[in-house]
Copies of this chain bind each other. A is one copy, B any other.
């Protein structure tokens, strides 16, 4: 697993914008207009600072993209590393991975949104996609292990299950907005309840014997 750069590192104390807030605004703008459709000129106008003030922090638009998608990826890999070190059955580690991933998504929404829209046209994008696939493989492996340990039903394919599970998590970027009534923990709870235990009320034994 790649060693993650700690988030929130690299501030240089430029008045007005530090690197983190610059990245936040850049990620939001890339999400609105597309990376290709956003120029450094657009960004400087949005921030109300000169282009050279931006270049004080980063040498290029590519580097802005790299740092922004890595904020998302580093968060996900921090969760994966934490999960790897957990004792206990794979299904518990899988649940921790799901909760942690929802947490990264809600906490770093513009960065995760940007990551999920990257298509691999440049080296930065291809590198991001490669790290995303590494994370997906880690998740798929946990599902497989939980199935081997007898905690996940054997009648669903582990690879497809992992895809559906993380597809559901990723779909949160389409509607989750912080501060609009849905608490991030409640969201993680609902995701886990539905995917681990299902929506349906579980029949009691006497129902099943009917």
Q: A164-B168, A195-B199 are in contact. List 20 more A-B contacts (CB 8 A).
A: A91-B200, A143-B199, A153-B197, A155-B193, A156-B190, A156-B194, A160-B187, A161-B194, A163-B175, A164-B191, A165-B194, A167-B168, A168-B168, A170-B171, A171-B171, A194-B195, A195-B195, A196-B198, A196-B199, A197-B198
Q: Would B91 and A161 count as touching, CB distance under 8 A?
A: no
Given contacts A160-B190, A182-B160, contact A153 B205 (CB under 8 A): no
Given contacts A172-B167, A175-B167, contact A150 B201 (CB under 8 A): yes
Q: Would A198 and B198 count as touching, CB distance under 8 A?
A: yes
Given contacts A167-B171, A171-B167, contact A161 B197 (CB under 8 A): no
A182 to B12, CA, bound (A): 49
Is residue A34 within 8 Å, beta carbon to beta carbon, of the partner chain? yes
Residue tally, chain A, CB below 8 Å to B? 39
Is residue A157 within 8 Å, beta carbon to beta carbon, of the partner chain? yes
For A198, what are the chain B residues with a Cβ–Cβ distance below 8 Å?
Answer: 194-198
The listed residue with most B CB atoms (<10 A of its CB), out of A165, A186, A190, is A190
Q: Would B194 and A164 count as touching, CB distance under 8 A?
A: yes
Across the interface, name the chain B residue whose C-beta is closest to A119. B32
Given contacts A167-B172, A174-B167, contact A197 B194 (CB under 8 A): no
Q: Would A152 and B205 count as touching, CB distance under 8 A?
A: no
Across the interface, name the chain B residue whose C-beta is closest to A162. B199
